[in-house]
Chains A and B, each alone.
Chain A
């Protein structure tokens, strides 16, 4: 059985929980007290992830500690329909990269504020805004052609990779009304069968 090590308030972990739910994959979860316990930096956790990264998925002998890698693995190995990744791997990989850049900027800024670290998140926000704008442009133009997801007419792991941090953007102090096409796409992701929430994300 797939085992997910996760922390409830982490957007990276939410990405994996979303895909597991949308694919309807049975799995067990292990809660990691990342904050305030810093359990992800413990010796026992580092045996799974030497860098102390969250989430970790164990699937048989395979251990992965990167959200994008886990999304690709689950879509490639556990999606019989082959719609979540195989349809447009190059295009999807590009948006996985955008998702990682959002996690490193917007997502990191959110956690800084949320855990009240006292650090200045403004430089991270400055890096996130052009990415949000590029996402808004792409989504608006795609929607104008009747493509309601990042890569065409159906959801892929690209949507999941970019959804988690952008839907939580206001927790990082970024007003989402600046990106109306992103807000509209958030509504569409909420309609995907198997959609689940994390704290800070509202259901449909």
Chain B
């Protein structure tokens, strides 16, 4: 277990209306989705009926629909609103999907791995492409602090680093999300002072980070 706190799940722009992101936070599988009401939600990724992952389901309005039997769950409270096999009966009472606390800030969808953790807003920047590393958070953080010259830690899950000069030299805040014992996601915000096309900056950032990942994979 990593310390409870707010971790990034997806770029807010990558979570389009009607889309479901399949994400893992600290061993907990989540269906991260946005309904017609534009609210981002992170639910336990499992239908209580037969255990099917809700991330393979679909979004209809403000409801999430399970792919297996069409059971519907209301975005507002996670309650089951429809069991199509028994259209004239009320769904099993008390049946609801566990929701995790979610907030959107700095162009990122965040989730609290605990309850009531304090949210610290990062310095705003251009949202980077999230990248998965096959290492746990602690090992990855250590490796990054060792390998990235001039990098520094901000708390236990954030780092400040700089892209190499030839890649633009911009400063980046790397936001780590622990997924499993050997899986950590790296989200990021690039702080570009000079006016440049945001996508060019994001491209430079992801290609640099992919290079860092190759370096770590080759040294394993």
Contact = CB atoms under 8 A, between A and B. Distances in A.
B206 A140 contact: yes
B198 A184 contact: no
| Max count, chain B CB within 10 A of own CB: residue among A145, A180, A181 | A180
Interface size classification for chain A: 10 to 19
B132 A178 contact: yes
Contacts of B202: 141, 144
Contacts of B10: 180
Interface stretch (B14-22, B75-83, B97-105): B14-22
A141 to B, nearest CB: 6
A181 to B, nearest CB: 7
Contacts of B23: 177, 180
B132 to A, nearest CB: 5
Contact of A202 (B13, B67, B132): B67
B199 A145 contact: yes
Contacts, number: 48
Interface residues of B, number: 23
By secondary structure, the A interface counts as helix
B106 interface: no
A180 B186 CA distance: 13
A184 B22 CA distance: 11
A141 B206 contact: yes
Instruction: Give 3 nearest A-B pairs by CB, closest first.
Output: A177-B22, A140-B129, A144-B199
Interface of B: 10, 13-14, 16, 18-19, 21-24, 55-56, 58, 67, 129-130, 132, 198-199, 202-203, 206, 210
20 contacts: A133-B210, A136-B129, A141-B202, A143-B13, A144-B199, A145-B199, A175-B22, A176-B22, A177-B23, A177-B24, A178-B132, A180-B21, A180-B23, A183-B21, A183-B22, A184-B16, A184-B19, A202-B58, A202-B67, A204-B58
